[in-house]
Amino acid sequence: MKIDLPPPATFTAMRKEKDNIADILRAVVDPELMVNIIDLGLVYDIRCDDPFTRIDIDMTLTSPGCPLGDVIVEDMEYRLFVHYPDTAVNIRLVWDPPWTPERLTAAGKAALGRA
């Protein structure tokens, strides 16, 4: 069976783009906790296609029904739009697996006083 894998150069470029997207999203801060969404571990998955026309992000919130959820999502959409005006951005809120404090990065733990 033949499996179509992207050529290594494309794979590397996509990896770099995902890192770039994560860096952009570090500017999105939860206004209650004052910690960015990457260090909070809210972003589960970032996918982009080849050619670069679409970004899909799976993310969660620290609590279902968080009243600031849509502010965070709108902030993400705007920041990605500024950097990728010709790319469609699709952000999907997921609750499975639920967020737990174990998803915090070391920087996130330090910001919440858990370090």
Partner 1 sequence: MQQIASQNAPSPRVVLPHFIFGGLALLAAVALTALHPDMLTGHYFSPRLLGLTHLIVLGWISMVIFGALYQLVPVVLEVRLYRESLAYAAFLLLALGAVVLATAFWHFDLGALMETGAVLAGGAIVCFAANIFATARRSVKTGLERDFIITAIIWLLFTVGAGITLAFNLRYAFLPVPHLELLKLHAHAGFAGWFLQLIIGVSSRILPMFMVSHGMNRKKLEWAYYLINGGLLAGIVSLYAQWPPGVQGGVAAGVGGVGFYLSFLAEAYRKRGKRQLDTGMQQSALAFVLLLVPVLLLLFFQWSRSLPAQATLAYGAAILLGFVTALIMGQTYKTLPFIVWLHLYRSKVGRGKTPMPRDLYHEPAAVWQIRLFAAGFAGLMTGVFLQRTVIIAAGGALLLAAVVLYNYNILLIVGHRPKKDDGTAPGGRDPKS
3 counts as binding partner 1 under rule CB under 8 A: no
Residues 6+ apart with CB under 8 A from 54: 48, 87, 88, 89, 90
Quick check: helix, strand or coil at residue 43?
A: strand
- Could you tell me which of 81, 89, 99, 94 has the C-alpha nearest to residue 48? 89
Question: Which of 1, 51, 82, 97 lies at the binding interface for partner 1 (CB under 8 A)?
Answer: 82
**CB 5, min distance to partner 1, A:** 31
Number of residues that bind partner 1 (CB under 8 A): 39
Binding positions for partner 1, rule: CB under 8 A:
27-28, 31-34, 61-63, 65-71, 73-82, 85, 89, 91-93, 98-101, 104, 112-114
